[in-house]
Protein backbone atom coordinates (compact mmCIF):
# COMPACT_ATOMS: atom_id res chain seq x y z
CA UNK A 1 0.00 0.00 0.00
CA UNK A 2 1.40 3.40 -0.97
CA UNK A 3 -1.29 5.64 0.50
CA UNK A 4 -0.87 6.75 4.11
CA UNK A 5 -3.42 5.54 6.64
CA UNK A 6 -5.24 7.80 9.09
CA UNK A 7 -6.95 6.19 12.05
CA UNK A 8 -10.35 7.68 12.93
CA UNK A 9 -11.62 7.12 16.46
CA UNK A 10 -15.07 5.62 16.95
CA UNK A 11 -17.80 6.60 19.40
CA UNK A 12 -20.10 4.38 21.46
CA UNK A 13 -23.62 4.34 20.03
CA UNK A 14 -26.72 2.22 20.62
CA UNK A 15 -28.66 1.10 17.55
CA UNK A 16 -32.38 0.69 18.26
CA UNK A 17 -31.47 1.19 21.95
CA UNK A 18 -30.21 -2.39 22.02
CA UNK A 19 -27.11 -3.00 19.93
CA UNK A 20 -23.78 -1.51 20.98
CA UNK A 21 -21.83 -0.14 18.06
CA UNK A 22 -18.87 2.09 17.26
CA UNK A 23 -19.88 5.04 15.11
CA UNK A 24 -17.85 7.41 12.91
CA UNK A 25 -19.46 10.28 11.03
CA UNK A 26 -19.01 9.95 7.28
CA UNK A 27 -17.87 13.56 6.90
CA UNK A 28 -14.72 12.65 8.80
CA UNK A 29 -14.01 9.78 6.43
CA UNK A 30 -14.72 11.90 3.36
CA UNK A 31 -12.46 14.68 4.58
CA UNK A 32 -9.59 12.22 4.84
CA UNK A 33 -10.26 10.37 1.60
CA UNK A 34 -11.03 13.42 -0.51
CA UNK A 35 -8.68 16.07 0.92
CA UNK A 36 -5.70 14.42 2.62
CA UNK A 37 -5.38 11.65 0.02
CA UNK A 38 -5.03 9.09 2.81
CA UNK A 39 -7.04 5.96 3.57
CA UNK A 40 -9.39 6.43 6.56
CA UNK A 41 -9.33 3.50 8.98
CA UNK A 42 -11.94 3.40 11.71
CA UNK A 43 -10.85 2.07 15.10
CA UNK A 44 -12.86 1.43 18.25
CA UNK A 45 -12.84 4.11 20.93
CA UNK A 46 -12.54 1.45 23.62
CA UNK A 47 -9.36 0.30 25.42
CA UNK A 48 -10.45 -3.34 25.44
CA UNK A 49 -10.85 -3.33 21.66
CA UNK A 50 -7.98 -1.10 20.53
CA UNK A 51 -4.39 -1.53 21.65
CA UNK A 52 -2.59 1.81 21.33
CA UNK A 53 0.84 0.39 20.49
CA UNK A 54 -0.58 -1.90 17.82
CA UNK A 55 -2.69 0.92 16.38
CA UNK A 56 0.27 3.26 16.06
CA UNK A 57 2.23 0.55 14.29
CA UNK A 58 -0.48 0.51 11.61
CA UNK A 59 -1.56 4.12 11.10
CA UNK A 60 0.40 7.17 9.94
CA UNK A 61 -1.83 9.68 11.73
CA UNK A 62 -4.84 9.90 14.03
CA UNK A 63 -8.03 11.96 13.70
CA UNK A 64 -9.91 12.56 16.96
CA UNK A 65 -13.44 13.44 15.91
CA UNK A 66 -16.29 15.33 17.46
CA UNK A 67 -18.96 13.36 19.30
CA UNK A 68 -22.28 13.67 21.08
CA UNK A 69 -20.79 12.56 24.41
CA UNK A 70 -18.77 14.87 26.66
CA UNK A 71 -15.43 14.03 28.25
CA UNK A 72 -16.18 12.73 31.74
CA UNK A 73 -15.49 15.51 34.29
CA UNK A 74 -13.66 13.17 36.65
CA UNK A 75 -10.65 13.63 34.33
CA UNK A 76 -10.38 17.25 35.45
CA UNK A 77 -11.50 16.94 39.07
CA UNK A 78 -15.12 17.99 38.57
CA UNK A 79 -18.25 16.17 39.72
CA UNK A 80 -20.44 14.69 36.96
CA UNK A 81 -23.88 16.17 36.39
CA UNK A 82 -26.79 14.40 34.64
CA UNK A 83 -27.45 17.63 32.71
CA UNK A 84 -24.18 17.18 30.86
CA UNK A 85 -24.62 13.57 29.83
CA UNK A 86 -24.05 11.44 27.84
CA UNK A 87 -20.46 10.52 28.58
CA UNK A 88 -18.29 7.99 26.77
CA UNK A 89 -15.89 6.75 29.43
CA UNK A 90 -14.40 4.08 27.19
CA UNK A 91 -13.43 6.63 24.56
CA UNK A 92 -11.92 8.77 27.35
CA UNK A 93 -9.89 5.80 28.55
CA UNK A 94 -8.46 5.24 25.08
CA UNK A 95 -8.19 8.77 23.68
CA UNK A 96 -6.34 10.46 26.54
CA UNK A 97 -3.33 8.09 26.62
CA UNK A 98 -3.49 7.78 22.81
CA UNK A 99 -2.87 11.52 22.44
CA UNK A 100 0.22 11.34 24.64
CA UNK A 101 1.46 8.29 22.75
CA UNK A 102 1.03 10.10 19.41
CA UNK A 103 3.10 13.02 20.67
CA UNK A 104 5.80 10.73 22.07
CA UNK A 105 6.06 8.79 18.80
CA UNK A 106 5.68 11.86 16.53
CA UNK A 107 2.48 10.48 15.00
CA UNK A 108 0.47 13.37 13.48
CA UNK A 109 -2.72 13.98 15.45
CA UNK A 110 -5.61 16.30 14.61
CA UNK A 111 -8.34 16.94 17.20
CA UNK A 112 -11.78 18.27 16.24
CA UNK A 113 -14.42 19.43 18.75
CA UNK A 114 -14.42 16.65 21.37
CA UNK A 115 -10.98 15.63 20.05
CA UNK A 116 -9.76 19.18 20.65
CA UNK A 117 -11.12 19.01 24.19
CA UNK A 118 -9.48 15.61 24.73
CA UNK A 119 -6.10 17.06 23.74
CA UNK A 120 -6.46 19.68 26.45
CA UNK A 121 -7.56 17.19 29.11
CA UNK A 122 -4.75 14.79 28.16
CA UNK A 123 -2.28 17.43 29.33
CA UNK A 124 -4.03 18.33 32.56
CA UNK A 125 -6.40 21.01 31.29
CA UNK A 126 -10.01 21.48 32.31
CA UNK A 127 -13.31 21.95 30.49
CA UNK A 128 -16.50 23.86 31.22
CA UNK A 129 -19.67 21.81 30.52
CA UNK A 130 -21.60 24.82 29.16
CA UNK A 131 -19.42 27.60 27.80
CA UNK A 132 -22.52 29.74 27.17
CA UNK A 133 -23.10 29.95 30.94
CA UNK A 134 -19.86 31.86 31.50
CA UNK A 135 -20.23 35.67 31.66
CA UNK A 136 -19.96 37.34 28.28
CA UNK A 137 -20.03 34.14 26.26
CA UNK A 138 -22.27 33.44 23.29
CA UNK A 139 -24.30 30.28 22.70
CA UNK A 140 -21.93 28.01 20.79
CA UNK A 141 -24.43 25.18 20.43
CA UNK A 142 -25.99 24.30 17.08
CA UNK A 143 -28.96 26.41 15.95
CA UNK A 144 -32.41 25.23 17.00
CA UNK A 145 -35.97 26.08 16.10
CA UNK A 146 -38.31 27.86 18.52
CA UNK A 147 -39.72 24.49 19.60
CA UNK A 148 -36.23 23.35 20.64
CA UNK A 149 -35.64 20.95 17.76
CA UNK A 150 -32.35 21.08 15.88
CA UNK A 151 -32.63 23.23 12.77
CA UNK A 152 -33.39 20.90 9.83
CA UNK A 153 -31.18 22.73 7.30
CA UNK A 154 -27.50 21.62 7.47
CA UNK A 155 -26.52 24.85 5.75
CA UNK A 156 -27.85 26.74 8.77
CA UNK A 157 -26.44 24.31 11.34
CA UNK A 158 -22.93 24.37 9.88
CA UNK A 159 -22.84 28.00 8.77
CA UNK A 160 -19.89 30.14 9.86
CA UNK A 161 -21.13 31.87 13.01
CA UNK A 162 -18.25 33.77 14.56
CA UNK A 163 -14.69 34.96 14.05
CA UNK A 164 -11.55 33.44 15.51
CA UNK A 165 -8.51 35.63 16.15
CA UNK A 166 -5.30 33.70 15.50
CA UNK A 167 -1.95 34.35 17.16
CA UNK A 168 0.06 36.49 14.70
CA UNK A 169 3.01 34.47 13.45
CA UNK A 170 1.71 31.30 15.09
CA UNK A 171 1.31 27.90 13.47
CA UNK A 172 -2.33 28.47 12.49
CA UNK A 173 -1.75 31.99 11.17
CA UNK A 174 1.17 30.80 9.03
CA UNK A 175 -0.75 27.80 7.78
CA UNK A 176 -3.92 29.75 6.94
CA UNK A 177 -2.20 32.92 5.76
CA UNK A 178 -4.29 35.24 7.90
CA UNK A 179 -4.85 36.35 11.48
CA UNK A 180 -8.67 36.18 11.52
CA UNK A 181 -10.98 33.45 10.24
CA UNK A 182 -14.69 32.59 10.48
CA UNK A 183 -15.87 29.17 11.63
CA UNK A 184 -18.95 27.13 12.47
CA UNK A 185 -20.00 26.42 16.05
CA UNK A 186 -21.68 23.26 17.36
CA UNK A 187 -20.49 22.66 20.91
CA UNK A 188 -21.60 23.15 24.48
CA UNK A 189 -18.48 22.09 26.37
CA UNK A 190 -15.23 24.00 25.89
CA UNK A 191 -11.78 24.62 27.31
CA UNK A 192 -11.74 26.36 30.68
CA UNK A 193 -8.05 26.12 31.68
CA UNK A 194 -5.44 25.09 29.10
CA UNK A 195 -3.29 22.06 29.89
CA UNK A 196 0.41 22.33 30.69
CA UNK A 197 1.59 21.71 27.10
CA UNK A 198 -1.36 23.33 25.37
CA UNK A 199 -0.61 26.54 23.49
CA UNK A 200 -3.69 28.60 22.62
CA UNK A 201 -3.49 30.02 19.09
CA UNK A 202 -7.10 30.92 18.32
CA UNK A 203 -9.76 32.74 20.36
CA UNK A 204 -13.36 33.53 19.43
CA UNK A 205 -14.98 36.95 19.69
CA UNK A 206 -16.23 36.07 23.19
CA UNK A 207 -12.79 34.75 24.30
CA UNK A 208 -13.71 31.08 23.89
CA UNK A 209 -10.62 29.04 23.00
CA UNK A 210 -10.92 27.68 19.46
CA UNK A 211 -7.47 26.57 18.22
CA UNK A 212 -4.58 24.90 20.06
CA UNK A 213 -1.30 23.12 19.49
CA UNK A 214 0.79 20.85 21.68
CA UNK A 215 4.01 22.55 22.74
CA UNK A 216 7.16 20.66 21.86
CA UNK A 217 5.43 18.22 19.51
CA UNK A 218 7.75 16.92 16.81
CA UNK A 219 5.08 17.07 14.14
CA UNK A 220 1.47 17.96 13.42
CA UNK A 221 -0.39 18.20 16.74
CA UNK A 222 -3.24 20.65 16.29
CA UNK A 223 -6.80 20.92 17.59
CA UNK A 224 -9.80 23.04 16.63
CA UNK A 225 -13.10 23.51 18.44
CA UNK A 226 -15.11 23.94 15.24
CA UNK A 227 -16.15 21.15 12.87
CA UNK A 228 -13.45 21.38 10.23
CA UNK A 229 -14.50 18.02 8.78
CA UNK A 230 -17.83 19.40 7.56
CA UNK A 231 -16.71 21.09 4.35
CA UNK A 232 -12.95 21.01 3.67
CA UNK A 233 -13.72 20.17 0.05
CA UNK A 234 -15.01 23.75 -0.45
CA UNK A 235 -13.96 25.73 2.66
CA UNK A 236 -10.48 27.23 2.24
CA UNK A 237 -9.72 27.31 5.98
CA UNK A 238 -10.71 23.71 6.63
CA UNK A 239 -9.10 22.51 3.41
CA UNK A 240 -5.79 24.03 4.45
CA UNK A 241 -5.95 22.24 7.80
CA UNK A 242 -6.71 18.83 6.28
CA UNK A 243 -4.14 19.30 3.53
CA UNK A 244 -1.47 20.09 6.12
CA UNK A 245 -2.54 17.05 8.12
CA UNK A 246 -2.30 14.97 4.95
CA UNK A 247 1.19 16.28 4.19
CA UNK A 248 2.27 15.37 7.71
CA UNK A 249 0.98 11.79 7.52
CA UNK A 250 2.48 11.37 4.04
CA UNK A 251 5.83 12.57 5.33
CA UNK A 252 5.66 10.14 8.23
CA UNK A 253 4.86 7.25 5.91
CA UNK A 254 7.81 8.23 3.73
CA UNK A 255 10.08 8.30 6.75
CA UNK A 256 10.75 12.05 6.62
CA UNK A 257 11.91 13.81 9.77
CA UNK A 258 9.16 16.17 10.98
CA UNK A 259 9.85 19.78 11.87
CA UNK A 260 9.23 20.86 15.44
CA UNK A 261 6.57 23.33 16.48
CA UNK A 262 3.39 21.32 16.05
CA UNK A 263 3.32 21.29 12.24
CA UNK A 264 5.33 19.15 9.85
CA UNK A 265 5.68 21.28 6.74
For this structure, is 113 an active site residue? yes
The conformation of residue 161, written as its DSSP 8-state character, comes to -
- Asked if residues 136 and 154 have their Cβ atoms less than 8 Å apart, the reply is no
> Considering 113, 118, 187, 230, which one is annotated as catalytic?
113
Query: What angle in degrees, to the nearest 10, is found between the helix axes of 89-104 and 114-122?
Result: 70
For this structure, is 84 an active site residue? no
| Short-list 108, 63, 111, CA closest to 254 | 108
Question: CA torsion, points 234, 238, 244, 250, in degrees to nearest 10?
Answer: -60
For this structure, is 227 an active site residue? yes
> Considering 128, 187, 227, 230, which one is annotated as catalytic?
227
> Considering 210, 229, 230, 247, which one is annotated as catalytic?
229
Separation of alpha carbons 75 and 215, rounded Å: 21
Instruction: Catalogue the active-site residues.
Output: 113, 227, 229
Amino acid sequence: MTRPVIGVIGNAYNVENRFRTQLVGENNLRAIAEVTGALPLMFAGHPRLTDIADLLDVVDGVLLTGARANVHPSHFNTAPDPRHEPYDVNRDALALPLIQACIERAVPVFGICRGFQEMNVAYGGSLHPEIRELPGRMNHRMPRLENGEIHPDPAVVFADRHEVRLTPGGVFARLLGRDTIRVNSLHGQGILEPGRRIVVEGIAEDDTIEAIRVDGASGFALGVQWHAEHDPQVNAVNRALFEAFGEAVSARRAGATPQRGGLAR
